[in-house]
Amino acid sequence: MMNIYGRKLLLITVISLALGTTACYAAENVQKTDSATAVSNARQEAQIWTTYALSPYLRANTLSVSVAAGKATLTGHVAEDVHKELAGEIAAGVTGIDKVDNQIVVDADHKAKPDAGKRSYGEVIDDASITAAVKSKLLWSKHTEGMDTKVVTNSGKVQLTGTVASEQAKQQAEKLAKNTEGVRSVANLLEVTERSSTDADTGSVIADSWITTKVKSTYMYSSNVASSDISVTTNAGVVTLTGKVESGVEQALAVELAQNIRGVKSVLSDKLTF
């Protein structure tokens, strides 16, 4: 009799242990699943919010995003219907978002309260992009080659400091900065210091592919040239421009910008029409 009870007790113990182990395993899996879901939700929320912050149409609005199980809920205020639609389309375009509950309120009188003395995340990114574009254009230009320049941008206002070899280089630096997308104003604090012509690397050969890339990039960074409508090819330092521009002014600027790139010998623009 004791043996029967003993076997039953042993069986019950084994079953209890098995059920306990299964329960623990299941709880652990649930915990892992919940953790992965939370991370996914947070990632999607961050992606949507960052896109709002970078958008010039949405960054000034008070918008909030929450994501749960593939559903994005949008709240806040905007001034126009088109901005509400844009916010919804951005959220719907994020991988993993299956449904968008757009509760954003359209209020024509809505104005976001500025944070005194602080730039928004989008404005910081814009300023960093402007600084990079201006630095690149100065680096590529034959007129500003070798200059020691510092570029700082705050809310679209560019400040140039450092030294240049001539008054022409100083004016060219300012012109390149002013013609950069997003620039509102330029404070040219560059100082002219005489520099020996032997300091410049005039003997280096610039590859045609490098010239073509830099001309295209200069157009892309410039506010008054439609880069997508202009084709650029280079052969032995001679740049050929083809395509369409809006006016003679844009045509002249496209030619001037190309001529300023290091290594360019001449620019052919007879195929650049308007």
- 241 or 1, which is more confident: 241
d(CA 27, CA 31): 6
Instruction: Encode pLDDT of 45-88 as tens digits.
Output: 999 998 988 888 888 778 999 999 899 999 999 989 999 999 99
Query: Mean pLDDT across the chain, nearest whole number?
Result: 83
Residues of the chain with pLDDT > 70, as a percent, come to 81
Residue 198 has pLDDT above 50, yes or no: no
What's the predicted TM-score (pTM) here?
0.67
Mean pLDDT for the stretch of residues 183-194: 91
Strand pairing report for 148-154 and 157-164? antiparallel
pLDDT classification of 214: cutoffs 50, 70, 90: very high
Neighbours of 151 (CB within 10 A): 21
CA-CA-CA-CA torsion for 167, 169, 268, 219, nearest 10 degrees? Answer: -130
Report pLDDT for 118: 76
Q: Is the pLDDT of residue 210 over 80?
A: yes
Domains, the chain, ordered by start? 2-106 (3.30.1340.30), 126-132+146-195 (3.30.1340.30), 208-273 (3.30.70)
Band of residue 116 on the pLDDT scale cut at 50, 70, 90:
low
